[in-house]
Structure 1
Amino acid sequence: MFLKAEDRKTIKDLAAKIRNEYNLTSLPIDIAKILNDKNIKFFTANLDNINGYELSGLIEKKDNGEIRIIVNNQHQDTRNVFTVAHELGHYFLGDLNGKKRVVSLRGGSKNKKERAADFFAAELLMPEDLIRETIEKLFFPTLQEMANKFRVSRAAMKYRLDFLGVPYYG
């Protein structure tokens, strides 16, 4: 099940608003500016076996109101950048409202909130205008080169380019 077009537009507009608010206009997108401004604490931990599950990350609200994002330190940095942006998606989309924690399983089922957080992360880190602008500047745009420029994993970049219908090599 995919997100509806109107949901995608709402999320795309929200991500654009946040990029503009934080002047995130150059590559790679510096999501640390958002974490710092919102006073969201960032941690890494081995999340490979939490009650039998491998977690990519989580966002939680402590009793004192502190918001924390924790990502799996066993994953590549580029994957964790996307995970942090995904968890910020939960934050900005209101998924923490009334909850203490939202957990993202690696390879877990993708309900609507998880797909929305993924879409937010893609829009935040790899906005279409910057994707197309970067592709135009490159003589022979490879998947790896694009992933490096945006500081995301090859898998995230491939999914994004395919979604946008943007051609690339290898």
Structure 2
Amino acid sequence: MHYTQDKEFMEYIGQLIENPRMKRMDQIVHHHHSTRLKHSINVAYTSYKIAKKFGWDAKSTARGGVMHDMFYYDWRTTKFNKGHAWIHPRIALRNARKITTVNKLEEDIILKHMWGATIAPPRYKESYIVTTVDKYWAVREAITPYTEAFKHRRPHLFHRRILKR
């Protein structure tokens, strides 16, 4: 099912993704083959479905997931005193608070989704879902050209790209 046809999910994040600040993320390339908004929706919807399956807080999981990367700079070129993995969750939380009220679980999801690259572990089980799903989608989006080559039965493109690197 496409996420837009999931009425409950859309009740949770519909107003968020229609916000002009959130829509801005659809103009930003993220993981080379996706936009930041598309990535965030993918993470939110997959995480929401997992949380719902386990009977956990699917609403906060969806909301935290869709706002986890709410920043507007190019992380490949912008340098900070502290690394991007530490900085961008804090920026995302600040930006999320500009468009909605964020509960403690959503805050933890946003701040801790880079666990593994940062020290502080998530506090809630839903935060672990988003953290893991975020990594899954990052890899999936990054390998899009390779999976597309296989889908279209053109593995020679895959080998050619690998050999050029």
TM category, shorter:
0.3 to 0.5
**Which structure shows the higher helix fraction?**
2
**Which structure shows the higher strand fraction?**
1
TM-score, with normalisation over the residues of structure 2?
0.33
TM-score, with normalisation over the residues of structure 1?
0.32
